[in-house]
């Protein structure tokens, strides 16, 4: 006999927990959450190495556009010492110098030749914008029109290729919003002549991070605020009967629902639909296969013995457009919380020096202190990666970019690949989503939401993802508009206070 609920939630990442939190708050109907993993977190989880180093499964920090999201996190982790507050200190490594982020506003630190190319390009871009009769169609066209050829070739094209694993010509530009800073030509010229740098920009100029247990600890804490009998872990959904409103689990049991909030990948969902006429399913599957693009992400962590070097200081995350390292971003993960590393009293052997040519270290276990780096590398069929050598290549890249010195003592390593990793804003993404998402919701009460459930990178941060789940519930129960899904620029341009957590 099948279990029956009003609303079934698939996935215990931020989106699924957002849906569950809202359902529990409203207390208007029965609900159940299932997840294939053994604990909450999803793509916002944290792993721990055997040596005791924590690494998030990607570069996550907490900043928010939503009062409701803040309410939920403050309820889950209410104490002052549950969090560290940070000012973003971020740089781009270019021409062997650290350029303050955003790169396009701080070319004053570059060699004069590069400054000239960038400013000339920005002037040409301003003229091109004046003459343009239609908006840009691709990300590459947007870059050239907003920044010019100099910045495009020096930073924007190579960096974004390293991030997305596809050329900028293969991407649309509607997703940009607050993600990319357009340069102020007057300010750039003034700062360049006066040898000044611009201040912080963007929504994550300040952020917070949990003191303990990494980002994954946040979502475990949120899950603990929910009725535990409504959360079923180790349960993978393998089939969804859209017409019959049932989900089949890998243990053969079924759950009958009125509304389904799914955070599974949209491509996985449509490939495992049944109970719809073949033509509709085939159309959805074809749209997903041919028009939804993703890349894989490798997360590589390195634990190092020693005091945090002065050259690293208070840096948070760093960008790498050049080809002297495989990673596009590095995070000084130990700067987020000292508890991301073992205590100094813990004794660990040195696994290797950063440059193996330095020699073979002693195998004796020694005390710390310790610090850590976390790098991200993209992969696609257009940008293949040698999985067997990637860890060694990453360590070599850390030496090349002066994150590590040749004799830096590495005491722990971590490497995990995520497929998919990034939902690419491809040229045909929106047409595919328009074909699939409304049909699922309007015809079958299936609300596919989340980083890969709704496939919109521009609303893929933790606060967005959480609210996609909240708003999906309000849509299912009340017919409300889903502002985060439907109007990313609107929600990203304001402080959203319409919902609050009732206490």
Fill in the DSSP letter of residue 344.
Answer: T
Task: For 438-455, write each residue's pLDDT tens digit.
Answer: 999 999 999 999 999 999
Q: Give the helix/strand (H/E) hosting 422.
A: strand 409-424
Q: Check whether 201 has a pLDDT greater than 80.
A: no
Q: Considering only CA atoms, which of 136, 62, 58, 152 is closest in space to residue 103? A: 152
Which residues are CB-contacts of 422 (< 8 A; sequence separation ≥ 6)?
163, 164, 165, 294, 295, 297, 378, 457
Residue 197 has pLDDT above 80, yes or no: no
Homologous superfamily (CATH) of 3-43+65-80+212-292+426-492 is FAD/NAD(P)-binding domain (3.50.50.60)
Which stretches does DSSP call E strand in 231-369? 231-233, 237-241, 246-249, 254-256, 259-262, 273-274, 293-305, 317-319, 329-331, 352-353
Tell me if the pTM is above 0.85.
yes
Give the rounded percent of residues in the chain with a pLDDT score beyond 90.
81
Cβ contacts of 25 within 8 Å, gap of 6 or more: 501, 502
Distant-in-sequence, close-in-space partners of 12: CB < 8 Å, separation ≥ 6: 20, 33, 35, 37, 39, 40, 41, 42, 219, 223, 231, 233
Could you give the percent of the chain with pLDDT greater than 70?
97
Averaged pLDDT of the chain: 93
Q: In which band, very low, low, confident or very high, does the pLDDT at 249 lie, cut at 50, 70 and 90?
A: very high
* Distance separating alpha carbons of residues 5 and 316, to the nearest angstrom: 44
pLDDT for the residue 129:
86
**Domain map of the chain by residue range?**
3-43+65-80+212-292+426-492, 104-193, 295-424
Quick check: 137 pLDDT over 70? yes
Per-residue pLDDT band for 203 (boundaries 50, 70, 90) equals: low
Q: Which pLDDT score, from 0 to 100, does residue 341 have?
A: 98
* Residue 117: partners with Cβ closer than 8 Å, 6 or more residues away: 149, 150, 153, 154
């Amino acid at each position: 006999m099948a279990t029956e609920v009003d609303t079934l939630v698939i996935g215990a990442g931020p989106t699924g927990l957002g849906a569950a939190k809202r359902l529990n708050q409203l207390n208007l109907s029965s609900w159940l959450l299932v997840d294939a993993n053994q604990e909450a977190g999803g793509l916002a989880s944290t792993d721990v190495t055997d040596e005791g180093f924590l690494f998030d499964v990607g570069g996550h920090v907490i900043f928010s556009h939503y009062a409701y999201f803040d309410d939920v996190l403050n309820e889950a982790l209410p104490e002052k010492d549950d969090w560290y507050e940070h000012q973003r200190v971020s740089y781009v490594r270019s021409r062997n110098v650290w350029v303050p982020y955003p790169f396009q506003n701080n070319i004053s630190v570059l060699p004069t030749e590069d400054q000239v190319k960038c400013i000339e390009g920005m002037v040409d871009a301003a003229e091109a914008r004046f003459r343009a009769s239609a908006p840009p169609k691709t990300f590459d066209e947007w870059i050239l029109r907003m920044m010019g050829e100099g910045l495009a070739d020096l930073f924007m094209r190579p960096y974004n290729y390293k991030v997305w694993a596809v050329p900028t010509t293969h991407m649309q530009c509607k997703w940009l919003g607050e993600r990319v800073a357009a340069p102020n030509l007057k300010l750039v010229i003034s700062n360049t002549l006066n040898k000044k740098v611009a201040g912080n920009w963007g929504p994550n100029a300040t952020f917070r991070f949990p003191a303990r247990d990494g980002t994954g600890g946040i979502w475990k804490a949120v899950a603990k605020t929910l009725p535990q009998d409504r959360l079923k872990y180790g349960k993978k959904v393998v089939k969804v009967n859209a017409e019959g409103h049932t989900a089949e689990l890998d243990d053969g049991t079924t759950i009958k629902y009125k509304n389904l909030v799914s955070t599974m990948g949209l491509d996985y969902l449509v490939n495992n639909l049944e109970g719809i006429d073949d033509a509709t399913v085939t159309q959805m599957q074809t749209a997903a296969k041919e028009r939804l693009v993703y890349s894989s992400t490798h997360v590589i962590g390195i634990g190092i013995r020693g005091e945090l070097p002065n050259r690293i200081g208070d840096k948070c995350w760093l960008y790498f457009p050049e080809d002297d390292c495989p990673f596009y971003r590095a995070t000084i993960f130990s700067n987020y919380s000292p508890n991301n590393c073992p205590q100094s009293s813990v004794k660990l052997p040195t696994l290797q020096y950063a440059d193996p040519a330095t020699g073979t270290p002693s195998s004796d276990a020694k005390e710390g202190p310790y610090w850590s780096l976390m790098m991200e590398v993209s992969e696609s069929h257009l940008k293949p990666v040698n999985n067997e050598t990637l860890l060694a290549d990453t360590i070599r890249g850390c030496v090349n970019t002066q994150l590590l010195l040749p004799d830096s003592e590495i005491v722990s390593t971590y490497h995990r690949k995520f497929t998919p990793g990034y939902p690419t804003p491809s040229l045909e993404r929106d047409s595919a989503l328009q074909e699939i998402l409304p049909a699922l919701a309007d015809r079958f009460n299936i609300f596919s939401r989340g980083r890969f459930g709704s496939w919109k990178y521009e609303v893929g941060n933790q606060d967005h993802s959480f609210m996609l789940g909240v708003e999906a519930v309000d849509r299912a129960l009340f017919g409300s508009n889903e502002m985060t899904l439907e109007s990313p620029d609107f929600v990203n341009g304001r402080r959203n206070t319409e919902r609050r957590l009732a206490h």
